[in-house]
Structure 1
Amino acid sequence: MRLKTEKTGARPWDEAHLKELFGEGFPEFVTADRLVKNYIGRVREFFADLDLMLVDEDGVPVASGWGVPVRWDGRPESLPSGYTEALVRAVEGHEQGVAHPAARRPGVGRGRVQGAERVDAALLTSFARGDGPDG
C-alpha cells in the first residue's frame, strides 16, 4: 500500500472515514487531563502545520498525528515529563516568541522545525503498519 501525508486542514474529510479512524476515541491521558483542555485549542491554532493525516491511494485517512515543537537543551533531565508538559512548553514558548533552535536558520519560519513533517510521516507510517512502539 502506498501512503502519503497531507495536512489535516488541507481539505474536508469524509465523516464516515473520520468516524472509523477515531471511533475508539483518544487515550485517557489526552481527554481526562484538565490542563490539556486549557492548551489543546492553542496547539491546533499555533501548530496546524504539524497536524497530519496519513492517507492511502484512495485518499482515505489511515492514521493521524500531530506534533509540537519543544525547546530542549540536550540534557535528558530537561526533557518534558510527559504529554501535558510538552504541550504547555510548546504553547507558552510560542506565545513568548521562543523559537526552537533549528527554526533560527535562514529560510525556516519562526517556530517551524524543518523536516518535522517528514519525521511525523515516518512515525505515522510506522503506527499504521502496526510496528510502532505500541505495536
Structure 2
Amino acid sequence: MTNPDALACSGYFAGNLINGSPTDIANAQDAIELLPGDFEWDGNWAAVDATKIMQLVSGNVLDFGQTLFGLTIIGAHFGNVDGTDGNVSVFWLFDFGTEGASSIILDHPEGFSNAAIYTPGAPPVPEPATWG
C-alpha cells in the first residue's frame, strides 16, 4: 500500500485512532504493539507535535516535512473509503535506514484524512570528519 514498502502493517481498525481521544489513544497503543519489535507508544498525544502531523501533497505523496531514519511507525486515517471498509486507521512499520526518507507514496490515497509519526528512528551517526 506504500512505496517504499512497509516492513509490517497493523490495521485496518474502525474509526480515526489518530485524533487524541483517550479511547483512541488506547486503541492506537494496542495497534502499535501488534507490530514487530519492541515499540511502545506512551500515549502522550502532546508529544506528537505539529511537525509530526502529515498531509498529502501532489495527490498521493505523504510528505513528512523532515527526513526520517531507521525504524519508524506511521499511523494514517482514511475516512469515507469506498467499499465495506469505510472509516479506518492503519499503522505501518518502516525501516528508512541510514539514507532516510522524507515521504512515502500511498498506492491508494482515497479517503486519506491525516497521519502521524509515532516512533521516529534515530538519525544516522555523522562521519568523524564532520565532527570537527
Q: TM-score range by the shorter chain?
A: under 0.3
Query: What TM-score, normalized to structure 1?
Result: 0.27
Higher share of residues assigned helix: 1
**Larger Cα Rg: Structure 1 or Structure 2?**
1
Query: What TM-score, normalized to structure 2?
Result: 0.28
Using CA pairs below 8 Å that are at least 6 residues apart, which structure has the higher relative contact order?
2
Higher share of residues assigned strand: 2
